[in-house]
Amino acid sequence: MTLLRGLVALAVVAFATVLQVSLFPHFAWDGIVPNLALLVVVGAALVRGPQFAATLGFVAGVLIDLAPPADHIAGRWALALVIVGYLAGRARQDIRPTAVVTVLTVAAASFVGSSIFALSGLLLRDPVVGVSDMLEVILVAVVWDVLLTPFVLPPVMLLFRRLEPAQVAY
């Protein structure tokens, strides 16, 4: 059962990664697309907590880093999504998150995730892009992620709630 759960989670992030590169470029704003994998990780964090979300974040990040057409240094998105998963998981409350809380968490997570990725690029001198350009890209990405939240987070959170081990059932 644990294996099955893991496989479903893997399938969800893989699907998100593919949509991100193959579907959303048609709607992209200056090449910036919603970060679906990050949304899935935040959804997992809000339902399952930091440990699960950090692990899922690592898997999702590695997929983004390796699946074509990625060409940046591998491990950068993994690092960003591990931290996002952990922080979002720590921020969750015991009660079910309200819509506002969810949107705020997504906005913060998107900002933190893209920023960590951009900063790691600055440190590693991976792409040489100005800080102002980076900031613009990050802010557009936040807007995109927030816009997609109502469509992505509810089904993702429902799925992870269904996948949750039986211990919370009583």
Partner 1 sequence: MEQRWKGSDGREKGNRPSGSVVVALLLACATLITLDAHGGQDSPIEPARRVAGEAFGPVETFTAGVVRPFAAVPDYFGTRKDLREQVSELEAENAELRRTVETSGLDRNRLAEYDGLTRAAADTGYDLVPAHVIAVGSGQSFSHTVTIDAGTDSGLHADMTVLSNDGLVGRVIRVTRTTATVLLIVDADSVVGGRLASSMEIGFLGGRGIIDSTGRLDLDLMDDSVVANAGDVVTTWGSKDGTPYVAGVPIGRVVSVINSPRETSRRAVIEPFVDFTALDLVGVVVPTGSSSDRDVVRAGQGED
Question: CA separation (Å) from 55 to 61, 78, 108, 138, 145?
Answer: 10, 10, 19, 24, 21
* Min dist. Cβ of residue 150 to partner 1 (A): 21
Q: Is residue 127 reached through a cis peptide bond, with omega within 30 degrees of 0 on the bond before it?
A: no
SS (H, E, C) 80-127: HHHHHHHHHHHHCCCCCCCHHHHHHHHHHHHHHHHHHHHHHHHHHCCC
# residues near partner 1 by CB under 8 A:
68
The mark string for 22-61 relative to partner 1 (x by CB under 8 A, - otherwise) is: xxxxx-xxxxxx-x------------xxxxx-xx-xx--x
Pick 92 or 153: Cβ nearer partner 1: 92
Residues 85-144 that bind partner 1 (CB under 8 A): 86, 114, 117-118, 120-121, 124, 126-129, 133-134, 137-138, 140-141
* Min dist. Cβ of residue 43 to partner 1 (A): 16
The residues with which 32 forms a beta bridge, in sequence order, are 29
First CA to last CA distance, the chain: 19
> Which residues here bind partner 1, judged by CB under 8 A?
14, 17-26, 28-33, 35, 48-52, 54-55, 57-58, 61-79, 82-83, 86, 114, 117-118, 120-121, 124, 126-129, 133-134, 137-138, 140-141, 167-168, 170
